[in-house]
Chain A
Amino acid sequence: AQSVAQPEDQVNVAEGNPLTVKCTYSVSGNPYLFWYVQYPNRGLQFLLKYITGDNLVKGSYGFEAEFNKSQTSFHLKKPSALVSDSALYFCAVRDIGSFSGGYNKLIFGAGTRLAVHP
């Protein structure tokens, strides 16, 4: 079965320090992977995606993610955290069954709350 795991419920980091939010996936074939961010009382906002190509993907707000096929991971990273980065982060993988239909059925992880302290 396809799945996404975010092993940490919460990540705490000091402002200015690098941050990593972890994501591992289980899917047959080549995965389409996404990161979204959710601020309080708002919907999810797209950060970045990996479909193919360079294993290091750059996205919005200075975030990047590293795809590692051998470890089936897609960790989100940022070199220097900001207090404004505090939010809920979701990793998602495209359901392999939706490929033929053209639509983007996503399987989401449970989310990781990032807290950046001044």
Chain B
Amino acid sequence: NAGVTQTPKFRILKIGQSMTLQCTQDMNHNYMYWYRQDPGMGLKLIYYSVGAGITDKGEVPNGYNVSRSTTEDFPLRLELAAPSQTSVYFCASSPGGGEPQHFGDGTRLSIL
């Protein structure tokens, strides 16, 4: 019962570096999402995907990119890391309709 798996769990980046946050799910869900969680702010949607090859922007997409080449994987790319991107990032998936989203355990990212 792996569900949604995120790697790495922790990372420290220097300003200007790039990295990819990995997310994979084994539930054959069509819909996948990336959120960031900042203290006292709830979760903000960065990008989402409704299926392989189809992605769209959420509320806070600037500074990020995504791709969805398979149903299982939905990586999030930071190209030029900035201190404002210090946050906890969550990946989620859902089967669609009114069904709830399933979340990974998050990646804690610090940019110094």
Contacts and interface: CB of A to CB of B under 8 A. Distances in A.
B103 to A, nearest CB: 3
A46 B102 contact: yes
A49 B48 contact: no
Nearest to A4: B42
A69 interface: no
Interface of A: 9, 32, 34, 36, 41-46, 49, 51, 90, 94, 101-106, 108-111
A90 B40 contact: no
**Interface residue tally of chain B, by bracket?**
20 to 34
7 contacts: A43-B105, A90-B42, A101-B50, A102-B96, A103-B94, A103-B96, A108-B44
Contacts of B45: 105-106
Contacts of A36: 100, 103
Given A105-B45, A106-B101, 8 more contacts: A43-B90, A46-B102, A103-B48, A104-B94, A104-B97, A104-B98, A108-B42, A110-B40
A55 to B, nearest CB: 16
Interface in B38-62: 40-45, 48, 50, 58
A61 B99 CA distance: 19
Nearest to A52: B98
B39 to A, nearest CB: 9
B58 A105 contact: yes
Chain A: interface secondary structure? loop
A49 to B, nearest CB: 6
A106 B103 CA distance: 13
Contacts of A106: 43, 45, 101
Contacts of B99: 104
Contact of B105 (A42, A102, A104): A42
B40 A9 contact: yes
Contact of A108 (B43, B102, B106): B43
Contacts of B50: 101-103
A43 B94 CA distance: 14
